[in-house]
A and B are shown apart, each in its own frame.
Chain A
Amino acid sequence: MRQVISGNEAASLAVKLARVQVISAYPITPQTTIAEKLSEICGSGELAARFVRVESEHSAMSTLIGAASTGVRTFTATSAQGLALMHEPLFWASGARLPIVMVDVNRAMAAPWTIWCDQTDSVAQRDTGWLQFYCWSNQEIIDTVICAFKIAEKLLVPCMVCYDGFFISHTYEPVEIPEQKDVDEFLPPRNAEYKLDTENPHTFSGGTLPNYFMEFRYKLQRAFERAPEVIARVYGEYVQCFDRTYDSVESYAADDADAVLVASGSAASTVWHTVKALRDQGRKVGLLRIRQLRPFPAAELAAKIHPPQRIGVLDRNLSPGTGGVFTQEVRAALHRDGHTGRIHEFIAGLGGRDITMNNIIDIYDRLEQKTANASAINWVGLNP
């Protein structure tokens, strides 16, 4: 069934289709309509889930830690400050290996106050041990949220699905909505090996001394190392059922391009449109869209870059003192692969500023004309 819905509605529908059992969320713009929609779905009985209406995002995540420990399927959504407030329990969720799925509707971090989009909130949580997906369309949201449950539950790692606030969350697009029976087939109920069970009592996450702690971190790392294969398999199954699939790094006219821009989220679609337009003019530019920050698809990315292409990374986030987080990741990945070319860093669109096609054309120009600074941040659209 095809429906024109917003990004937040897509996420909510995916939660319903995944037959989530416990939801807990706290309102924050631009995520709020997810909490509203899910409340409605739970209230109407369309979904036999408990919606725990907590008093903070910290409690939302804590509630899911408790609920997921009983073996049920859980979901929450948040943005920005809310995600930051969850920082502590995010580590707990991954350390306790709870397959919680969360949507983060990307929003810049205050201060000063803002409700507009950038990815600083979620990239700042990259070390918490969560899988992170970045979507660029409402269709991708519904597909990815459904897959996220399967991936998380297979790996015992929590999963964050991110998309840009307002640009995606509040934008309506036609979306192919999977049939419930197909989703049920694709995603059976969660089957937890360990859970709070009075018949088989265990203690969870108890004090662990240096003799074991490192091993648990090693196991978590191993799960992330297994993730690419598991993710690929899950999408492989998904395509069988639903005829749609996604790669961790998606290439658009990048193979033969002289200048390649790496981007994610809604910015990537602007890049995509720009690439299309520039290709029409005969310019050999391309796009590599990154769908995951964790695990970072290093090998997939390296395989899709063909020196001596000129590489730029578009970051809609800032780690002050360093720069864009995706840039760092790209540099590290390519360096590890033996790549010696320069990686050009472009920071754009912070705090909801538009990233226009002209901005992108300008980036391609600078890459092609070698006027982009290779050793410092190239700020895009800045009026200092």
Chain B
Amino acid sequence: MNQGPHSAAGRPAAAVAMTDYEFCSQYDLYGHMACPGCGEKILLRHILNVLGPETVIVCPAGCAAVTDGVFPHSISPVPFLHVPFDATPAAAAGVRAGLDLSGRKHVTVLAWAGDGATFDIGMGALSAIAERNENILYVCYDNEAYMNTGIQRSSATPYGGWSTTTPKGQLKAEPKKNIGAIMAAHRIPYFASGSPAFLDDLTAKVAQAKRLSGLRFLHLLSPCPPGWKADPRDGITLARLAVESRLFPLYEIIEGTHYRLTHESSGAGFDEYLQLQGRFRYMSAGDRRILQADADRFYAQLTLRHNRNGETTVIGEEP
């Protein structure tokens, strides 16, 4: 198993030496409208950092769209196309087609969408571009609810989570949609999950995605302090705890069949993760156990699949 960011000597995990941060700093990313501590902008800057200037962003309604700026201003250092909420995958496919037809095949088309646009309203179109294996890098920054519209549940909201549409007494009763399995079922060349707390893991995955062609999908956890009812300072801490507690394991799926855990989650920090967030305040002890058991089960599946690489893994088969 990949050693992950923790070396044996226990040196700082996120001590990533950014050799090429000029790209983001030479352009003016300042002044964006994201809430203090927003994870989305941390993710975006590091992704752009790897992708470089030959990138076009396609972005639906959502936090990223709203916080990018207001006409006639924008923080984006690369061409940025706003599209309707449900249109990201198709519009990205159109941009791809248009660029290819204009001799710009080398340009990366980055679909940059939240969980609402991805897990819910854009799911049909997403499935379509996955099935067609469009040459797009689709990245979902998942803040686990409709945050921009005021914290409504999405199908990415975790079991037991509070939102304005799953209020106290009617907390979300369904587990988070397994987007990795959905993408794997389409046998896309590359799926990976990522967390802003593990930047070297993240940037390696973005670099890998950039190297490949076809539909590449990154599922990134994006801490949202106001939506998660957490202290803005805890964003990265939460992004780390989510991984360690196995609620958001870091893994890759290659060609839909080959699973690889890229970080060994210790399993610790589950309670702390919930405690630091008001959105889990109303969960009963029983619900917590259900959530944790679900996370552990999923992680065990990943571990099994990881270990079984080399043999044939049958899609959809339960280990």
Contacts and interface: CB of A to CB of B under 8 A. Distances in A.
B99 to A, nearest CB: 5
A50 B100 contact: yes
Nearest to A56: B124
Contact of A70 (B66, B74, B78, B98): B98
A54 B128 CA distance: 7
Contact of A53 (B54, B91, B132): B132
Contact of A63 (B72, B93, B127): B93
Nearest to A200: B79
Given A56-B125, A59-B128, A70-B95, A202 B90 contact: no
A48 B127 CA distance: 27
Interface residues of B, number: 46
Contacts of A54: 90, 93, 125, 128
Nearest to B53: A198
Contacts of A58: 86-87, 90, 125
Give the bracket for the number of chain A residues in contact with chain B: 35 or more
Contacts of B58: 66
Interface stretch (A204-212, A272-280, A345-353): A204-212
Given A196-B95, A207-B68, A66 B79 contact: no
B177 to A, nearest CB: 19
Contact of A55 (B72, B83, B107, B128): B128
Interface in A42-90: 48-50, 52-56, 58-60, 62-72, 74, 88-89
A104 to B, nearest CB: 19
B81 A204 contact: yes
Contacts of A198: 53-56, 78-79, 104, 107
B82 interface: yes
A22 interface: yes
Given A59-B125, A203-B80, A204-B81, A67 B55 contact: no
B282 to A, nearest CB: 34
A197 B104 CA distance: 9
A320 interface: no
Given A50-B100, A196-B99, A202 B79 contact: yes
B214 interface: no
B132 A66 contact: no
Interface string B46-64: 0000000111101000000
A67 B124 contact: no
B95 A206 contact: no
A327 to B, nearest CB: 33
B91 A49 contact: no
Given A68-B94, A88-B84, A206 B70 contact: yes
A201 to B, nearest CB: 5
A204 B82 contact: yes
Interface string A196-229: 1110011111111100100000000000000000
B82 A62 contact: no
Given A56-B124, A92-B83, A208-B71, A63 B90 contact: yes
A70 B102 contact: yes
Contacts of A48: 101
Contacts of B92: 66
B97 A50 contact: yes
Contacts of B93: 52, 54, 59, 63, 66
A24 interface: yes
B69 interface: yes
A31 interface: no
Given A92-B84, A196-B56, A207 B90 contact: no
Contact of B80 (A21, A24, A55, A204): A204
B86 A63 contact: no
A71 B82 contact: no
Given A22-B101, A198-B53, A212-B71, A62 B78 contact: no
Contacts of B195: none
Given A50-B101, A196-B99, A22 B94 contact: yes
Given A59-B125, A201-B79, A207 B66 contact: yes
B87 A72 contact: no
Contacts of B87: 58-59, 62, 65, 89, 92
A66 B98 contact: yes
A71 B70 CA distance: 23
Contacts of A207: 65-66, 68-71, 82
A53 B90 CA distance: 10
Given A50-B100, A55-B125, A56-B124, A205 B82 contact: yes
Contacts of A203: 68-69, 74, 76, 79-82
Contacts of A56: 124-125, 128
Contacts of B96: 66
Interface of A: 21-22, 24, 48-50, 52-56, 58-60, 62-72, 74, 88-89, 92, 196-198, 201-209, 212
Interface of B: 53-56, 58, 65-66, 68-74, 76-84, 86-87, 89-102, 104, 107, 124-125, 127-128, 132
10 contacts: A22-B97, A50-B100, A54-B125, A55-B124, A59-B89, A59-B128, A66-B97, A72-B97, A203-B80, A207-B71
Q: What are the 3 A-B residue pairs with the smallest beta carbon separation, nearest first?
A: A66-B94, A70-B98, A203-B74
Given A62-B94, A92-B87, A207-B69, 5 more contacts: A62-B90, A202-B80, A206-B68, A206-B80, A207-B82
